[in-house]
Amino acid sequence: MTDYRYPEGHVFYRKLGRRYPRIVRGEGCWLYDEHGKGYLDAVGGAYVANLGHSNPEMAEALARQAREFGYVSATAFTHGPVEELAHELAATLPPGLDKLYFLSSGSEAVEAALKLARQYWIEAGKPSKHRIIALNPSYHGNTLLALSASAREQYKLPFREWLVDVERIPAPYPYRCECRGTDPMCPACSGAALEDAIRRAGADTVAAFIAEPVGGSSTGASTPRPEYFHAIREICDRYEVLFVADEILCGAGRTGSWWAIEPYGVAPDLMTLGKGISGGYAPLSAVAAPERIVDVIANGSGSFLHAQTFSFHPVACAAGLAAVRLLKRDRLVERCAQLGRVLQRRLATLTELPHVGDVRGRGLLAGVEFVEDKSTRAPFPRAAKFVEAFTEAAQEAGLVVWPNVGHADGVNGDLVVVAPPFIITESEIEELATRFTSAHAVALKSVKAGVR
């Protein structure tokens, strides 16, 4: 039997110390390996498979475009898929965000959005505005500028000398905040911390503030107070700072509205899109910008100084076009909101388990945070590797989840995120919770036994 692990074969695997099951088939919310074992994909791979696996309409859309032409350079040509996709997406976006720049990955989109903010201020005659302010905890990608904006020290440490300095403010993270999200005057939960940071840095030096409207993996689907982003919008306007909403993970219907920023009633200056906009059938991301920002560059240098070979890729855009049209036609965003309520209610019962400190989220995005002591919220020590034990136990039980560590204090903290395809059924949600409970028992037993 082939052993899919390093150093067997020629694949440089993402993790070098584990064996990988080889997936041979997908169907709806399920993946099947070469031995016939089924895995309930409770996180859509990496928050992308919102349409489920092996959707025949998606497969046909990619094949149809590849038969017409597979690639043209965006420096020389435009094409139908990118024009139509931009039109379809623009109709869903917050007011004013009607220009879309297409790339391949979330990291690229964040990199591009922050570079666009910088180029905008230079061409607007304010070249001193270069600083970025971001949240802690947060995650925005692995390219160097996106990594700089992220607050994941375990990822950043080896590359510290290559990264730029980014100002940080506490994330609106009710479970980890001293006020538990109940104090409207709390600097972190109210957004006042942003104003303090801008004043410290000097408003004439701050180019952009970046945040996820609903927390991703770094805070496990944590949701701020309803007025938080109203305050952020007002502060950014007052000090001429561009607000960048990172919707790579939480957007494209994942939280039950097309974009996670919608329920707050404000619009960002720039927005990043990715993951679910192609349903995972092709690498695709985008930056959405308003004409008032793009006009400054159009009337200045005439070109945004950011591109990759596969920007505006025809087959990727065809996948995005098919995915967005399917989301609209089958009212899957509305279904996400409906099934999201079922998911959140069912997962809330997991707080009855020992060491499940909190369950939170919106729509089909939920975080489950594990703690050593539920009364004090004290995390497991990192050496226990609880979430690693849980994730492996879950996969062994046929359940795929997304782990995160370090959110409690930068080192300690264990949580998993659940983000199933929008086509999940109520019975599959029940199966998800059942397998989760079984994995929790196995992980707890192995950690207590000192296996890890």
Mean pLDDT calculated for residue range 85-99: 98
pLDDT at 239 over 50: yes
Whether the CB-CB separation of 381 and 397 falls below 8 Å is answered with: no
pTM over 0.95: yes
Closest to 146 measured CA to CA, from 369, 260, 306: 306
Distance CA 401, CA 152 (A): 20
CATH topology identical between 23-55+331-448 and 59-329? no
Q: What is the CATH number of domain 59-329?
A: 3.40.640.10
Give the pLDDT band of residue 287 (cuts 50, 70, 90): very high
Going from N- to C-terminal start, the domains of the chain cover 23-55+331-448, 59-329
pLDDT at 266 over 90: yes
Give the pLDDT band of residue 242 (cuts 50, 70, 90): very high
Closest to 39 measured CA to CA, from 422, 405, 439, 355: 439
CATH code matching the domain that covers 23-55+331-448, chosen among 3.40.50.2300, 3.90.1150.10, 3.40.50.360, 3.90.340.10: 3.90.1150.10
Give the pLDDT of residue 451. Answer: 52
Taking only the tens place, the pLDDT of each residue in 326-379 is 999 999 999 999 999 999 999 999 999 999 999 999 999 999 999 999 999 999
User: Which secondary structure element, helix H or strand E, spans residue 274, and what is its range?
Assistant: none
